[in-house]
Amino acid sequence: MAAQSEVNFETQLQPEQTFPLTQNELEQFHTRGFIGPFTLMEPEEMKANWKRLRLELFDRTRTVYRDAQPGTGVYNYDRHLDISLLADIISRPEITHRMASILGPDVLCWRSEFFPKYPGDEGTDWHQVDTFGGADGIPHITWPNGSDFGGAMTAWIAFTDASPEMSCMQFMPGTQRTMYFDESKGMHYDPKKENRKEINGVLRGFFGYDWRELQKDPNWTPDESQAVSMPCRAGQFLIFPTTLMHASTPHSARTKDIRLALAARYVPTSVKLYDNMKESNTVKELGGTYSLDQYGAVLVSGRNEYTHNRMRSHTTRGKEFVNSNSR
């Protein structure tokens, strides 16, 4: 993981508008591998945003992946590249200043993904993500040689409440530096597997995949006694590296309400994105495929001194992305 670099938050920001992690928080983060929940906005504001977003998600005329297949996990990938509300959220200083405290000053948001859980849905099974190539075995991101860390730093942003009965996140503290999975093995997709299987007595799965196919040791099982549940109110967010063992509880609440989270993924600018897809220009994941023709990473903090990644300065609707720490 990048050592903490000196981060100079914009001088025109008032102290109450800057959000670096404190030394204590950083220590806690490095020991446990996660931190939060932090408040991005009040529940009522987030619930109103979700109401608006529900309608905006239907309009796919400006999405960068118009070729993505309905019903697959990739269908609503990277909607921050066309929806202004999401463009604002992934660039919010409450998130990006904290990311800069962990990753160093120069930070990209390279992806956003929705995780909807409907009543009765399985929880997401225990997993760790290093290369993001779990589906096809091909790394989607490449850290520079010698980096002691892969994966991406996630801001897991709750659009609705996420209680233990309503699919809250779970973590295994301190597992972020030991990979129990090898994504180069690849997995088999079978949507019929969804919401069907109990693992250790809990309804869990991985969106039509079985992440356990990637286990380095087929006989290993996660030690659930180590699991910590992290409920969030709508408008709160958690930060964790994808290499931390993480999961979510099933949505077993007696309600008609969905649980919805947006996972925004951040990396330093030195990380190469989709370098292995240069020829095909196509990504395969979560049962779907999409072309990278209109893709670009977003600089949310600092400077980009590299030319290896495609970048976007504006959404497809012409809204400029905000860099909350432009050095």
CB of 206 to ligand AKG, least distance (A): 9
CB nearer to ligand AKG: give 7 or 40: 40
Choosing from 248, 270, 315, 323, the residue that interacts with ligand AKG (CB under 6 A) is 248
Q: If binding is defined by CB under 6 A, does position 154 make contact with ligand AKG?
A: yes
CB of 237 to ligand AKG, least distance (A): 11
Choosing from 1, 261, 273, 298, the residue that interacts with ligand AKG (CB under 6 A) is 261
CB of 17 to ligand AKG, least distance (A): 27
**Contact mark string toward ligand AKG, 120..149, x via CB under 6 A:** ----x-------------------------
What does the buried/exposed string (b/e) look like for 215-248 if buried means 16 or more CB atoms within 10 Å of the residue's CB? beeeeeebeeeebeebbbebbbbbbbbbbbbbbb
Q: If binding is defined by CB under 6 A, does position 189 make contact with ligand AKG?
A: no
Q: If binding is defined by CB under 6 A, does position 246 make contact with ligand AKG?
A: yes
CB of 120 to ligand AKG, least distance (A): 14
Q: If binding is defined by CB under 6 A, does position 115 make contact with ligand AKG?
A: yes
CB nearer to ligand AKG: give 7 or 135: 135
Q: If binding is defined by CB under 6 A, does position 262 make contact with ligand AKG?
A: no
Q: Report the largest interatomic distance among the alpha carbons of the chain, rounded to a whole angstrom.
A: 55
The alpha carbon torsion through 260, 264, 265, 269 (nearest 10 deg) reads: 170
Q: If binding is defined by CB under 6 A, does position 153 make contact with ligand AKG?
A: no
Burial class (CB in 10 A: 0-12, 13-18, 19+), 249: buried
Binding site for ligand AKG (CB under 6 A): 115, 124, 154, 156, 167, 242, 246, 248, 261, 263
